[in-house]
Structure 1
Amino acid sequence: MNFKFEEFVKYVHEIYAADFSLEEVKEILFLEDDGYNKSVPESPQKRLLLRRIILEGKKNDDNAFRYDRQLFSGVSMWVADNLKGKSTIFKAIGFALTGRDKFTPLVKTWLKYIALEFSIKDAVYSVELNLTGAQLKAAVYASAIDSIEREDPIKSFKSKDGLAEFMQELFFEEFDYYPIKRVQASQPSINLSDADLTWVSYYSSIYHQSKDYGNLEIGNQHAMVFQMLLGLEYTFSIHALEAKAKKAEREWSLKTEQEKSQSISVEDLQKLRNGLIATNEQIVKLRTNPEKKAIEEIEENLHSYQQSRETKRQEKLEGEDRLYQMKTAFNTSQVEIKEKQDSIQHGAREINKFRKLIIEYQDYIDSGIFFNNLEVTECPHCDHEVDKDKRLLEKESKICMLCDHTMTAEGNDTEIWQLRIKEAKGEIERNQLLSQKENQALINLEQKVKINDTNFARLENEVLKLETDLSELDQSIKAAEGNRNQMIAAAEGDYFSKFENLLEQKIKTENQIAIAEKQATMELDNKLKKKAEVLRTGHELMLRSRKKLGQATLSELEAIMLSQLHSLGLSNYTRVVINPDNFVIHYHQGNVVNNFNDISEGEQLRAKLALYLSLIELDLEKGLGRHPRLIILDSPTKEEADIHFVEGLKKTLLHIEEKFGEQVQVMVGTANRELTSIISSAEKIEVRESGQFVF
């Protein structure tokens, strides 16, 4: 149901009719992007499901690794000692989903590739992160990981900020999130921070580290994240009106303070003018100081040296990068030259082989006229081998070596030998053409290598010269800084401090004079104050409306949370109450009422899980809210956890698996091996021996 903005404006206008017209009230209360209808309680009925994670890299011991793991709904677990890679997996997931990495410096040196496949309802996405270079290369695909080589990405990125912006747009659109306008309480200016609540803020409701378990708040934004995950009506308009009201109040406060300070007598005004004259005279006197000019000249030279050094430093870095590329190209060309040379040699051998075959085939043709393709190698009478010389003599004399009769020529079929000669000639011609082509390619490569060598030598000399130039510039900068510091130390009366104070005094006096001269025509502007009051009234009215409309939702959530607490083994909790004004949660244990920070450490994680599981259950059963239904627990037991806490956590995870099953995804990384008993499916658990890394 659309918000009745016109009726809202009329109602507020009746209160402030003496100060504003109806159109003015409408303009004051107007919110862009249909702000009054932006927040809806109905769930988008979507979930975020992680499906596969791939990590690749090379550790300091030069051992390359590839970690490829399928991910599933329900509870999954990684079990390994602390500092053995569990958190790296979760941080890689967070990097792919938010564009913000939380890796340690050591991990950044060996992690080179991340791929994450996930789905939102029926849509499948894959994020690919290439970390091999100094600059991130990333891409998002609308397909599974196995298909990304055959498809173009939705979008590619060369920076973390670009990826973060795209992922925020994606999740904001899919889950109906939006940035909330907000003004910092300590903010001295009147400018708004209108995107303070980002996708990274909402992701904090998914990823939980051990250091977070004793704190229910998400930074200083708990109340706003809570409101967004609940999907309460008018959330956007409430914060937008409050931000506009704070801005108007700040403007009115600054103007009031300014106007109060403007009261000044005629005598005091004349004193200010005389003081300004004296200040200007001192400034002129200081500006003609010869020491000042000398110091300014040194400062200019020093600035020029520093600019030249930075320019040459960049040129040197670029030159070194080009040298590396040219060396790589040279190595590649050497491999290609060797391949061409081998190919040419192989062709020569083939040509020689077929030339020999042609001679042999021709010999068969010539001899076959008389011998009908029959060549006797053994005596048919005694089985002894016939002497080769005797056979050659037979061919030359045309007298049979067996019966001594003269042999006459036979009309033998020589076509098969002619065909073989033709084929051999064809092979010779083919290999000759191939050798010519390879030889030309070889010549081109050798010319290319020669040019590369010449350019490499030239560029290497240029880089060496840049190193010399940088060294000379460093010496010049050091000398200039020394001269400047000596002159400043020797300057009498601390010139710079005096000059700065005089300029500050001049500006202050000029402002005081300008304000005083306008004093007679200035009146206190109460309209700005009234504008702030209009906005505060609108803000209060929206708060009351949301409190009324959202009470049923909060009551549902309170009942679900109490049930969850009991299911998680906290049966001594008798009631849960959520303050509708500040969204602080109160936990009742009989007559004792505690905030989250008052709960024992062993119960805090379960209480925190109860909140997020209740938000998920509110979505699943009531169709309200917008939690992504994904929870990541990094080291939930910690080292100091007692046996009661571990047992409580086991009950919690079993409860999640049994009640929610395929509707949620909970991923746990722990060093506590007692928790392994709750996972019954082998594909959902990965256990490493003591001292062994996950990957």
Structure 2
Amino acid sequence: MTVEASSAEHSGSLVGRIAAAAKTTEDDVVAVFTTYGIPLAYPPARPRSVRVHRLRVLGVRAGTKHDGPFDRTFTFDTDFTALVASNFRGKTSVLEIITWCLRGSPRDRLQADVRRWLSGIELDVTIAGQAVGFRLSLDKGALVRGEVLAASQRQRLTAENSDAGRQGVSILVDTADEDDFAAQVATLMLDRLDLQPLVNSVSKDKQVGTQTHGWPAYYSAINLPAGPDKPLLGDQPMAGLPGRLLQVFLDLPAAAVLTRVKATREVLQSEVSQERDRARQVAEQRVADRARAQEALTAAQAELDRLVQQAPGPSLTDLADAAGRLARHVADAEEDWDQLNRAYRAARRQRQADEKALNDVKESEIARLLFHGLDPSACPRCETPITKERRKEERDVHRCAVCTAEVVGETASDEEVEAEAQARVDASKSAEDAARQALESAESTLSQLTAQLDEAQQRLRTAGSDDTVRQRMTAELEVARWKGALEMVPKPAEHDGNEESTVLKVLAAADKVLDQDSKAAAAALFTELNAEIADLARRFGMSALERVEVNRAAQLKVIKGGGAQSYFGKQSPGEQVRLRIAVVIALLRVGARLGISTHPGLVLIDSPKAEEVQDFDAAVVFKELAELAANNHIQVLITTADRELSRAVLPADCLVTAEEGAPLW
């Protein structure tokens, strides 16, 4: 089965197992992992070997006994290379210069004066089968140009300045900024070695966030740290990095994915906890506010009840409300009266007009003729007023007052016209009488309401002069104020504080499932790894060692003769050096046997004898390391100031030696 097919099959089953553990759907699982950028597959890693071939350093040494220009090239053709020189003669600097190139940024162990000597660095390496060249141009210790080249053949890297040499060489990185060079190299190395950034959660000031560790964290497992305060693997003891490095280098399933799941879950859980704390605090504040408002309302109500007993009857507020209501009723009654008065006057005018029309009908023929016609006061078209003269001409000479035409026609029966005119008079008189009665009723109602308003206002003025009544009004206002305050404070919302979101359920289930996968894969692997570490440590001189037990957190338990147990941190400095070396080589040997991609296979060790007590132990370590490197195709670069020891136990082709007291470069 191909890697892709295996990954797809495992990914599908992984989604199903996480969904079942979270008691949710597979779509929910995919959505959560997609939202937070976490992969749902973890295929086996690609080979990630790193091998150093050539280092060239150029510059001018100053402030020493050996000042002057230098141009030194080191070749590393053997699996094991020992750099031999007196103390403070450039051994450590070689490892740190290599580190600057491969890591992307220098460490503090590269002395400032040494940096200022350098004007150029060339490093040729092979990374995962690809020939790669690092080219650094420096000025007074500062990077002025950093390049990373890739070549089809390693030999082309040394001839890249010629036209022929440029063929088959490509530029991967080219920058004049030191930080940019470090970032680009880190990205390049992670990609070429098939490594993912390590993400873990960190807590600060009760806040949980994430911290990402990139290529420099991995590189600390190549250039092995010295000192008793360092962890078993890498150089950062915090945040569980040693364990994560161990799991990645053992290619345990889901090591990087599990790290991201854990970090994401811890951050989200922290955010949920903080939100719950905020909600709880808000609810508690609301309860306290309501309690204070209720307490104040109870006290105000008690005071009001006491004042009511002292001054029974309507309160000043009630009297004011009553007076206000009566004032509104009086205003409404006045408006009604005004409307009825206008209606009465209109009815009276109509009655008078009807009586005049009756009189005209009785006295004028033209009036009878025009009785059923219109009687406009102005021209209906131009609105010119009809004058008295035209009205007189209409009566006297029968000429229309509107159009001045002669009025002709048959005159209706005088009795019929007079009867109809009389009927109109009778109707208008009835309407006038009804309007007068309605007006008189409204006048009576208005009079009564006005009297009641006067009485209410007088009672209000009288009550307002009483101290007890004023106190009662103040108490009523206080009661109303606290009732309003109580209504403004909402009741605390009821919710299930233990309710867990789907996202957290999925992440918790993924943490459990992935951890089970990692444990299952580690069970047999760690048994073999423990045996390999113990065997190597004994070969390095820890003869009393019975066995070791390392776990996925890179915690190493050491069991010595007689069953005495202690952890890595309790061992002597020399034993810690041996164990660190043993762990790295064990990773490589176990990985080679099982066909998994593990450690890059490059190990830099600076002056291990500095932590040793007896020359014999150092001789054993050197000899075994050289043999292990040759047999397992591991590249080891080591430094020492003991030229006699190195010559005694190591082949001559493994040694890069400087004269006594002379610089190595």
Map 1:476-515 to 2 at 5 A.
none
Q: 2 CA distance for matches of 1:45 and 1:11?
A: 29
Match of 2:252 in 1: 232
Corresponding position of 1:158: 176
Given candidates 137, 141, 149, the residue that maps to 2:161 is: 149
Q: Is the 8 A contact 1:228 1:626 kept in 2?
A: yes
Determine what percentage of the aligned residue pairs are the same residue: 20
What residue number does 2:277 align with? Answer: 257
Q: CA deviation at 1:583?
A: 3.4
Secondary structure in 1 aligned to 2:509?
Answer: helix
Give ranges in structure 2 of 5+ residues lacking alignment.
1-5, 294-484
SS in 1 for 2:161: helix
Sort the Cα spacing of 1:647 and 1:681 in 2 relative to 1 into closer, same or farther, 3 A: closer
Q: Which residue of 2 aligns with 1:664?
A: 634
Instruction: Report the equivalent of 2:664.
Output: 694
Distance 1:46 1:25 in 2: 31
DSSP 3-state at the match of 1:261? helix
Aligned residue for 2:559, secondary structure, equals strand
Residue 59 (structure 2) pairs with residue 57 (structure 1) = yes
Tell me the equivalent position of 2:557.
586
Aligned twin of 1:653: 625
Q: Does 1:117 align with 2:117?
A: no
1:203 matched to 2:219? The reply is: yes
| Equivalent residue, structure 1, for 2:267 | 247
CA radius of gyration, larger in: 2
Matched, 1:184 2:202: yes
Match of 1:91 in 2: 96
Report the equivalent of 2:336. none
- Give the partner amino acid of 1:48: V
The letter for the 1-side match of 2:660 is S
- The aligned residue for residue 398 of structure 2 is none
1:658 is displaced (CA, Å) by 5.1
Q: Is residue 112–residue 132 contact of structure 1 (8 Å, CA) maintained in 2?
A: yes
Q: Which residue of the partner structure matches residue 604 of structure 2?
A: 632
Q: CA offset at residue 563 of structure 1?
A: 2.6
Cα distance in 2 for residues equivalent to 1:208 and 1:11:
39
The amino acid that maps onto 1:674 is E
C-alpha RMSD of the superposition: 3.1
How far has the Cα of 1:135 moved from its partner? Answer: 4.7
Asked whether 1:27 is paired with 2:31, we answer yes
Supply the distance in 1 between the matched residues of 2:200 and 2:271 (Cα, whole angstroms): 16
Matching residue's letter, 1:160: E
**Equivalent AA in structure 2 for residue 584 of structure 1:** Q
State how many pairs are aligned.
444
Structure 2 counterpart SS, 1:641? coil
Deviates more, 1:146-155 or 1:88-97: 146-155
| Residue of 115, 129, 148 corresponding to 2:136 | 129
Structure number with greater CO (CA < 8 Å, separation at least 6) is 1
TM-superposition CA deviations, 1:608-664 (whole Å, max 9, x none): 11111111112322212321111111111117633343233233334325533xx11
Q: Distance in 2 between matches of 1:14 and 1:667?
A: 50
- Aligned partner of residue 632 in structure 1, secondary structure: strand
Structure 1 residues 190 and 24: alpha-carbon distance in aligned structure 2, compared to 1, 3 A threshold? farther
- Work out whether residues 72 and 665 of structure 1, in 8 Å CA contact, stay in contact via their aligned partners in 2: no
State how far apart, in whole Å, the 1-side matches of 2:10 and 2:569 are: 41
- Give CA deviations for 1:177-233 in whole Å, capped at 9, x if unaligned: 11122111447445433xx22111111111124436964242121111111111100
| C-alpha spacing 1:517/1:634, structure 2 compared with 1 (3 Å) | farther
Letter in 1 for 2:179: D
Q: Indicate conservation of the 8 Å contact 1:74/1:656, yes or no.
A: no
Higher strand share: 2
Instruction: Give the equivalent residue in structure 1 for 2:522.
Output: 550
SS at match of 1:574: strand
1:73 equivalenced with 2:73 (yes/no): no
Partner secondary structure for residue 113 of structure 2: helix
Q: Return the alpha-carbon distance in structure 2 between the equivalents of residues 243 and 630 of structure 1.
A: 30
Match of 1:608 among 580, 584, 588: 580
TM norm structure 2:
0.61
Among 509, 530, 542, which residue is 1:570 paired with? Answer: 542
Q: How does 1:35-46 map to 2 (within 5 A)?
A: 35-38=39-42, 40=44, 44-46=46-48
List aligned pairs for 1:113-512, cutoff 5 A: 113-132=120-139, 134-143=142-151, 144=154, 145-150=157-162, 151=166, 153-186=171-204, 188-193=206-211, 196-211=212-227, 215-218=231-234, 219-220=236-237, 221-262=241-282, 263-264=284-285, 268=289
One-letter code aligned to 1:85: G
Q: Whole-Å Cα distance in 1 between the matches of residues 76 and 260 of structure 2?
A: 40
Residues 557, 566 of structure 2: 8 Å contact kept: yes
1:618 counterpart residue number:
590
| Structure 1 partner of 2:646 | 676
Q: Distance in 2 between matches of 1:232 and 1:15?
A: 21
Q: SS in structure 2 opposite 1:228? A: helix
Residue segments in structure 1 that go unaligned for 5+ positions in a row: 273-512
Deviations 1:341-375 (A, max 9, x none): xxxxxxxxxxxxxxxxxxxxxxxxxxxxxxxxxxx
CA displacement at 1:667 relative to structure 2: 0.9
Distance 1:563 1:22, change over 3 A: closer
